[in-house]
Chain A
Amino acid sequence: MVAIHANEDGLRRDERLERLKLFGLSSPATLLILVILVIPVGWLFYVSFVGADGSFSLENYERMVSRKSYSRIFITTFQVSFLTTGLCILIGYPLAYFLSQLPPRLASLCMITVLLPFWTSLLVRTYAWLVLLQKQGLINSWAMSLGLWDEPIKMVHNMTGTLIGMVHIMLPFLILPTYGAMRAISQDYMKAASNLGARPRTAFWTVFFPLSTPGLFAGALMVFILCLGFFVTPAVLGGGKVIMVSMKIVSNIELFVNWGAASALGVVLLVLTMIILWVASRFLKLDQIAGGGH
């Protein structure tokens, strides 16, 4: 007679073995995250609470609240991030839409040109913009020789230059998820809308656009968060006039050798980013409950 609990122990052992294998596979990644993320961030927190005399203190944070220059830096950082994200949406969304309407083969070809910037060094791209945009740069000299304007226009070492460079670099991060979401929208939805009486424009705004927003939202969030910590491009193209948090961190270390102040800035930036992510994820979930995600 076969016992009711036949093979129970063996089966349980198999189950445990399987789980162990899975754990084994993920352990290198877990270890890596522990070493390069958890420990350094913990260290960062610790250092930010160490005062100039080496004892525990809140002076690094107090300085941030009391000094006007700090709040201005945070405002600039958010300003640049918001503007870059906004411009990326304005430029990237229509482009992603255009790509999503092309036949797949042609679309992937065009996508390569969008992704090309990904494969060139960030520094090279940033300096290339400097060459193009500066007073004696390509754009000014061409425009003047064509008679479009008489005096060279200041397009770099200011907010304009920073934004041009940042938008160019961030655009793929917005386009990729947006394009992905758009490709996933079945043509049948648009046909159904049209069949039910929607003009093409109405069908777009009532059906296509809402269905593409999860991708757009993910892209915009990514761009915004990357912008918050951006350094090279604003440093080169901003010409010292656009000072973002990351730049202040660098100067705190290089100029003033004040690790505590730099760490505190890093912590604040990290916490702000996490808050934004948390709010955004709440928002995304709410959206899903209302029938948004799929």
Chain B
Amino acid sequence: MATASKDALPITVANVTKTYGKVHALDDVSLEVKSGEFLTLLGPSGSGKSTLLMVLAGFTRPDHGSLKFGDTEVIRTAPHLREVGMTFQNYALFPHMTVAGNVGYPLRLRKRPKAEIAERVEKALETVQLGGFGNRRIDQLSGGQRQRVAVARAIVFEPRILLMDEPLSALDKKLRDQMQIELRRLHEKLGMTTVYVTHDQREALTMSDRIAVVNHGRIMQLATPHDLYERPANRFVADFIGDSTFLKVTRQGDRITWGDMALAHGAPAPDTAELAMMLRPERIALSDSGPVEGANNFAATAENVVYQGDSYLVQARLSDGAEIILRRAMSGATATTMPAPGDAITPTVAPEDTVLIDGREV
């Protein structure tokens, strides 16, 4: 985690509910964002991410619940008094002001002296690598530059909390990758508590200290990227993150079996009636020389092989009819052993990659 600046504020959300008619946009959400943390809200479209962010910013009034910045209850505080920086999905840069006009706006509202405004605006623009762009009109900027101006405007008044709603969704992939690194670096430097919204799992995994996976207005899991990926709490999280496939497995006494095969697994199985084994495509190996000692070996038939440049995907069917997908990195050695459709193959999964989760659909 980034070193929290001493001004960063923790956020405490408790039992916040927001309904629109019958839709629960937020369903009893409780969440703590630590001081200086970079927390991402990740979830499918319509899951309530923006609604939660709007509650934090003060633009959506929840039905009930509590919201604290530090020790101060702010749930009924007007948006303009909350002192949180925010970037909007479409940036919402004022088109009738220059770049400097936009970035200086919050400082002018706070009646700072002219010289100080000019200095801080330039500093903020330099922070987002737009030094000298002050006189540009907004419509003279590229998408990535607009995004940076939006960030500069949100941080220039040194808010202790920064909210970002899908700030990179309008950018092309290359620029997005670059901005992810830049935003992350900015966070390390400024250390303000940051809540970031995205529906892009890779972005979330790359940038966050912790990720809250949201679905149907509820938080499905709140964990570090590592734990989220390696130890998903339920089927929704396991499914949403990574291109997993699932096998239905059963508990027989102490043993967990798939069909007749006993599974070797690293971490203990959760204590639930239904169980599923999660298979990540890149964690399945292809043995060229038959079953591997100590690993879980499956017998399968390759159905589809897709060349993807850096890797290839194999869609295979197991003996019980279940379909799995595995990915293998491409190298000179693996290229020659690339299976053809119809080949019998032996996918193997190491015990530590054999993750058992609650099998119920959420």
Residues of B that sit less than 8 Å from A by CB: 57-59, 78-86, 88, 90, 92-98, 101, 105-106, 109-110, 137-139, 153, 157
Contacts and interface: CB of A to CB of B under 8 A. Distances in A.
A189 B94 CA distance: 7
Contact of B109 (A189, A202, A211): A202
Identify the interface centre among B78, B86, B96, B153: most chain A CB within 10 Å of its CB. B96
Interface in A189-218: 189, 191-200, 202-203, 206-207, 210-211
B88 A188 contact: yes
Contact of A186 (B58, B90, B137, B138): B90
Contact of B153 (A196, A199, A207, A291): A196
Given A196-B105, A198-B109, A291-B137, A191 B79 contact: yes
A93 B86 CA distance: 31
A196 B57 CA distance: 10
A196 B157 contact: yes
Contacts of A240: none
Contact of A194 (B79, B95, B98, B101): B79
Contacts of A211: 94-96
A294 B95 contact: yes
24 contacts: A186-B90, A188-B88, A189-B92, A189-B94, A191-B59, A191-B92, A192-B88, A192-B94, A193-B94, A194-B59, A195-B57, A195-B82, A196-B109, A196-B153, A196-B157, A197-B80, A197-B106, A197-B109, A199-B80, A200-B80, A203-B80, A207-B94, A292-B96, A294-B96
A203 B109 CA distance: 10
B96 A186 contact: no
Contacts of B92: 186, 188-189, 191-192
Contacts, number: 70
Contact of A291 (B78, B82, B97, B110): B97
B90 A188 contact: yes
Interface in A70-87: none
A162 B96 CA distance: 37
Interface in A11-56: none
Nearest to A211: B96
Given A191-B92, A195-B57, 6 more contacts: A189-B94, A195-B82, A195-B84, A197-B83, A197-B109, A198-B109
Nearest to B54: A191
Interface in A169-189: 186, 188-189
Nearest to A197: B109
Find the residue from B90, B105, B139, B153 having the highest chain A CB count within 10 A: B105
B80 A198 contact: yes
A140 B4 CA distance: 74
A195 B91 CA distance: 13
Which of A188, A192, A199 is most buried by chain B, counting CB atoms within 10 A of its CB? A192
B110 A197 contact: yes
Contacts of A294: 95-96, 139
A200 B81 CA distance: 11
A195 B80 contact: yes
A254 to B, nearest CB: 50
Interface in A275-293: 291-292
Nearest to B109: A197
A195 B83 CA distance: 7
B88 A191 contact: yes
Contacts of B137: 291
A292 B90 CA distance: 19
Most buried by B among A191, A197, A203: A197
A194 B98 CA distance: 19
A291 B98 contact: yes
Contacts of B96: 207, 210-211, 291-292, 294
Nearest to A207: B94
Contacts of A186: 90, 92
Nearest to B101: A291
Nearest to A214: B96
A182 to B, nearest CB: 14
A194 B88 CA distance: 13
Contacts of B88: 188, 191-192
Nearest to B163: A195
**10 closest residue pairs by CB, A with B:** A188-B92, A192-B92, A196-B106, A294-B95, A194-B79, A197-B109, A210-B96, A194-B80, A291-B137, A195-B86
Interface in A245-294: 291-292, 294
A195, A198, A203 interface centre (most CB from chain B within 10 Å): A195
A294 to B, nearest CB: 4
Nearest to B95: A294
Contacts of A188: 88, 90, 92
